[in-house]
Each structure stands twice: as C-alpha cells, then as structure tokens.
Structure 1
Amino acid sequence: MRAIQITEFGGPEVLNVAEVPEPVAGPGQLLIEVSRAGVNYADTHQAEDSYLSSPELPLVPGGEAVGRTSDGRRVVALLGSGGYAEKAVAAEAMAWDVPDGIDDVTALGMILQGATAWVLLRRSTHLEPGESVVVHAAAGGVGSLAVQLAKAWGAGRVIATASTKEKRDLALELGADAAVDTAEPDLKSALIEANRGRRVDVVLEMTGGTVTDQSLRALAPFGRLAFYGMASRQAPSPVQPAGLMAHSTTIAGMWLAQVFQLPGDVMGTALRELFGLAADGRLRVVAGGEYGLTEARRAHEDLRARRTTGKLVLDPSR
C-alpha cells in the first residue's frame, strides 16, 4: 500500500511516499481503510524527533484517521503513528464510532484538536462562567474550537490572538469578542486592553517564547495558563515558584495522551459532547485544506509557516 514513510528525522523534506506492507490487526485492534488522515502540529515535531516521545525509524507518521473497518463501521481513531497511509491499525479502545451527519473533517477535527480544547477548558483551567479567556493561535485547529467552546460554556469575554488580519477576522466570526495581533510588542498590555482594562482569567497557550512570558504577566490573581505546545520552538523564561505564589497563578501543562490514564471515559465524554454540539450547529470545525498523500510535504510546510487555518487533512487516495 502507499504511505508516507520517514527514514531519517528532519523537516518536511523527510516525508516521502513509499510502498510499504499493509498493517495487520492483532487482538484488540481494528484495521481501518483510511478515507482521511488528520495533519497536526505534533506531526511536525514527530518528523523532526522533537516531540514528547521519541519514535523509531522507519516511521509512518500520523496520529489520527477516519475510515471504515472490515465490518463496515465508520470510525475515527487516535493512533500512535501510521495515519498517513491507505490503511492503518488502531486499538479498539482508541476508536470511536462517527455519528451520522458528521463528515470526515469534523470527525478528525474533534478527536484530537476538539478533545484538546475540551480538556484544556474543562480539566486544565476549570473555566467558570463569566471568566475571560485568551486563546492564542485562535484560527488554528485547537484555537478555533476553543473559541467556540469557551463561548458555548459561558465565558464572559473571549480574546483571540492570531498573526494576520484574516485569521483574526475568522476568530471574531467564530465568536471571539476581541482579536489581538500576536506580534504586538507589548502583548501583555494588548491583552489587558482587549479585556477592557482588566487582567485575564484563563490563557490557552501553544506558542512559547515571549508569548508565554507576556501572557503570564497578563493574568489576574488566581489566573490559569494551560501550556500545550511550543510552535515557535522557543522556550519561555524560567518560572519561579515564589512568583506563582505572589500572584496566585496556576500553570498547567497538557498532553492529550495522559487523558487515558484518568479514571472514567474522559475521551468518550468529550467526544459525545463535541459531536452533539456539532450536530446542533453550535460548534463547527473550520476546514483548513485537503492535501493528497503526495502533498504531505507541502502540508507540513504550510503548517510550519502558519499559512493555514482550521483542520488540515490528507486524502490517501491521491
């Protein structure tokens, strides 16, 4: 079968189309004929071996796929790897049936990015009605859904940040109350001004560097920042515990893989709510672009250059 195979770590140039053996499902696994594979920023880290876990080579990347099982079920699944291919194997416990009326892009948008936004707001920051929320990279896959969820769950004011006017306009269309240019030299003051002169309660942050530093300085007492990525590849300044105590600040890290160690079916709960909101028209996945398997390099280039909005997918049939 055709797949993207990585034989050395690096940038988009290491993504090559190859003929590889079809995967075989073992006990407790499902073989999925992939109709679409999701493309995520984490995939770019996986390709260059800069993510939280180090993969082995050769590697077929891709952490999510939607398609049909051999018995005709339509499922969306989280994968350790293997999504950028015509067929993929998933653990049964990591695959969920897709309700009627939910298209491929929506299904893929919910399973990782939607669930990430859900966990960030529900579990990492414990958003309360009336609180202000800053969503960085608000036109991206996680950000565009986090803006909508925060509004649906009663946030008092949602402040989006993005790098271009087009992306900021999209965030406003999705329900943000204000939009700020991430490149503002005094981002802290810009966030406070966007919150009508008040410090902010919650920040969802995946950029790193000075964006994280200035976001922390914009937090109100008992404010919470949830850190779930470092797209700039720049580490924030070190944080001193005494500084956290002085302002009653909470910093949370979030990696979705850890959700499966929690008691109860957290992921199933999240997806049921997300699919329900989508079916009711209260939550939409922004389609960010579809690429053929042969265009995987371009997908990663566009993602890393921040030329994209919303959910990116690969079509393994072309």
Structure 2
Amino acid sequence: MKAIVSTAEGARLADVPAPQPQPNEILVRVKAASLNRADLAGLAARDGKVIGMEWAGEVVEAGPQSGGWKPGDRVMCTGAGAYAEYAVTDGGRACRIPDSTLPYEEASILVLALQAMHDALVTHGELKRGQDVLIHGAASGVGLMGLQIARLLGARKVIGTSTNAARRARLAEFGADLALDPGQPDWHQRVLEATGDKGVEVVVDQVTGKQFAQTMQTAAVGGHIVNLGRLGGAGGEFDFQLHALRRISYIGVTFRTRSVDEIRTLNAKMLADLGSAIGERRLRLPIDSRYPLAEAAAALERMSANLHFGKIVLTL
C-alpha cells in the first residue's frame, strides 16, 4: 500500500506492507487523515514508520474481539499509521460516523479532539454545570473543540486564549465568551475580572511553559488545571504556596502511557456524553486546507509553520 513514512529526508511516499488486524482490531480503508501536532514528533523520529494518528474511512476487516464492527461500517479512528491507504486500530477506540451524509474529510478531524477534550474537561477537570472554564491555546483544533464541549455541558463562562489576533477574533464562533492574548502582561487579571475575582474552576492548558505561573493565578479555590500540551515549553515556574492556598488539583494527561483498556473507557465515556451532539453535528471543526496523500510533506510544513486555523486534512 501507499503510505507516508518518516525518513532522514523527511516525509516520503513509499510502498509498505498493509497492516494486519489483531483479534481486537479493525482494518480500515483510509478515506481521509487529519494532521495533529504530535505527527511532527513522528516526522522528527526519522524511523521509517508510517506517520499519523487520526483518520476516517471504511472497515474492510474486523477481528472477532473488535466489538461488533463489520465490513462496510463508516468509522473515525485514532491510533497509529494514519497517513496510509489502510490503517488498524483497536475496535474500542474507534467511533461510528453517525451521519451517512458526513463527509470522510470532516469525520477525520473530530475524534481525537473529542476524546482528548472530554477526558480533560470532564474526567480530569471534573467540570460541572455553571462552572467557569479557561482553554489555553484555544485556536488549535483541540482547543476549538474544548470551547464547544464546555459550552455544550453548561459552563457559565468560557474563556479562550490565543496569541494570534485573527484567530482570537474567531473564538466566539466556537463558544468563547472572552478571548484573551496571553502575550499581554495582564491577561490573567482579566480572567479574574470576568469571574468576579473568583477564578475559573477548570483550566485546560495546552501551553504551560513560562506562562504557567500566571495560569495558576487564574484558578479558583479548589480548581483543576489539566496539562494537555506543552507548546510553550516543558518547564516553567511553579508557585507551591499558591498551589496549596488555592488547593489546586494539577493533573497531567497524555495518550502515550495509557493502556488499550484505558483508552476504550475514555472513548466510551466521551460517546455517552457527546454521542447525541456528534450525531446532530453540533460539534464541529473548520478544515483549514486539504492536500492529497502524496503532498503530506507540504501539509506538515504548513502545520509546523503554524499557518493554519482549524485542521489540515490529507485526502485519499
């Protein structure tokens, strides 16, 4: 099959063997694959492996322990090896495309953001109706989904940050009541003003780094800060006194160290809460641009340069 692999020369189109599904897996004919920032780490590995972790397509083979999937089912998936004509994933990690009219390109951009943000906001952030939410890095695909999930689940005030003025201006389209520039020295004070000096009960932080000291100041007493990304760097100042005084729960999350069973549980919880909204197409993401599979290197370059708003899609 044709696939995009990571090589010493960058992303290259190559002929590789098609993957074979294990008893718990489904084999999917990929119709579209979505780019994610984690793919840049796969590219940097230069290890000859197929890049990508999110796709949509049609089941062509289902293992006996894959959970009731059958050939012909339309499916959106997370896993590994997405930039290819065929990919496999655990059946419990995949989601049915609920609307027969939803194009594969649009389906391919949804599921990772849904899984990641529901897990961050609900499971670890313990979001409750009427609470206030801050999404750091809200102009990313995952961030835009977070704004919508928070609004859907009844958050009182939804606040998003972005350093890009044009993208920041669009956050209201996806549910933000207030959009802030974290490059401004007083941005955290504006969060406190917007919440009556209380702070937010849930922060989903995709930035961390040097701004983390200010992010801690936005948390309410008993609030939760979920570390979902480190675009601003892996290190920063941590105020242990403030952490104790505000009784902040600080939680780190990643898919990389989760077992198959943990991801199955995560996915099932997300579908239980959001399945109806997904089926009614109330949760959406914009497609920034489309590239054929063979031009994946150009698509990755666009993402690396941070030129996109929404998701970049590879079409097959």
Task: Tell me, yes or no, if structure 1 residue 69 matches structure 2 residue 69.
Answer: no
Partner residue of 2:40? 44
Of residues 27-36 and 103-112 in structure 1, the stretch that sits farther from structure 2 once superposed is 103-112
Q: 1:233 to 1:303 in 2, by over 3 A?
A: farther
Q: 1:231 to 1:261 in 2, by over 3 A?
A: same
Partner residue of 1:90? 89
Q: Retained in 1: the 8 A contact 2:98–2:278?
A: no
Partner residue of 1:233? 233
User: What is the rounded CA distance, in whole Å, between the counterparts of 1:34 and 1:73 in structure 2?
Assistant: 12
User: What is the rounded CA distance, in whole Å, between the counterparts of 1:232 and 1:302 in structure 2?
Assistant: 19
User: What is the rounded CA distance, in whole Å, between the counterparts of 1:271 and 1:286 in structure 2?
Assistant: 21
User: What is the rounded CA distance, in whole Å, between the counterparts of 1:123 and 1:58 in structure 2?
Assistant: 35
Q: 1:73 to 1:279 in 2, by over 3 A?
A: closer
User: What is the rounded CA distance, in whole Å, between the counterparts of 1:19 and 1:264 in structure 2?
Assistant: 31
Query: After superposition, where does 1:169-208 map in structure 2 within 5 Å?
Result: 169-195=169-195, 197-208=197-208
Instruction: State the identity as a percent.
Output: 29
The amino acid across from 1:85 in the alignment is A
User: What is the rounded CA distance, in whole Å, between the counterparts of 2:260 and 2:20 in structure 1?
Assistant: 24
Of residues 85-94 and 217-226 in structure 1, the stretch that sits farther from structure 2 once superposed is 85-94
Of residues 23-32 and 150-159 in structure 1, the stretch that sits farther from structure 2 once superposed is 23-32
Backbone CA RMSD of aligned residues: 2.4
User: What is the rounded CA distance, in whole Å, between the counterparts of 2:84 and 2:264 in structure 1?
Assistant: 31
Query: After superposition, where does 1:206-221 map in structure 2 within 5 Å?
Result: 206-221=206-221
Q: Retained in 2: the 8 A contact 1:205–1:227?
A: yes
Shift of 1:291: 1.9
SS at match of 1:308: coil
Q: 1:287 to 1:263 in 2, by over 3 A?
A: closer
Q: Retained in 2: the 8 A contact 1:206–1:230?
A: yes
Q: Retained in 1: the 8 A contact 2:109–2:313?
A: no
Of residues 270-279 and 225-234 in structure 1, the stretch that sits farther from structure 2 once superposed is 270-279
Residue deviations 1:90-144 (CA, integer Å, cap 9, x gap): 2333333222243324433332111111111111111122211111221211111
Q: 1:42 to 1:287 in 2, by over 3 A?
A: same
User: What is the rounded CA distance, in whole Å, between the counterparts of 2:281 and 2:75 in structure 1?
Assistant: 21
Task: Tell me, yes or no, if structure 1 residue 16 matches structure 2 residue 15.
Answer: no
Partner residue of 2:116? 116
Unaligned runs of 5+ in 2: 61-70
Partner residue of 2:282? 282
The amino acid across from 1:22 in the alignment is A
Q: Retained in 2: the 8 A contact 1:184–1:190?
A: no
Query: After superposition, where does 1:130-149 map in structure 2 within 5 Å?
Result: 130-149=130-149
The amino acid across from 2:20 in the alignment is V
The amino acid across from 1:30 in the alignment is I
Partner residue of 1:53? none
Unaligned runs of 5+ in 1: 50-55
Q: Retained in 2: the 8 A contact 1:135–1:146?
A: yes
**Which TM-score applies when normalising by structure 1?**
0.86
The amino acid across from 1:17 in the alignment is L
Residue deviations 1:238-278 (CA, integer Å, cap 9, x gap): 454x5422221111111145375449843123135434213
Q: Retained in 1: the 8 A contact 2:93–2:264?
A: no
Query: How many residues are treated as equivalent by the alignment?
Result: 304
Shift of 1:215: 0.6
Partner residue of 1:255? 254
The amino acid across from 1:250 in the alignment is S
Shift of 1:83: 0.7
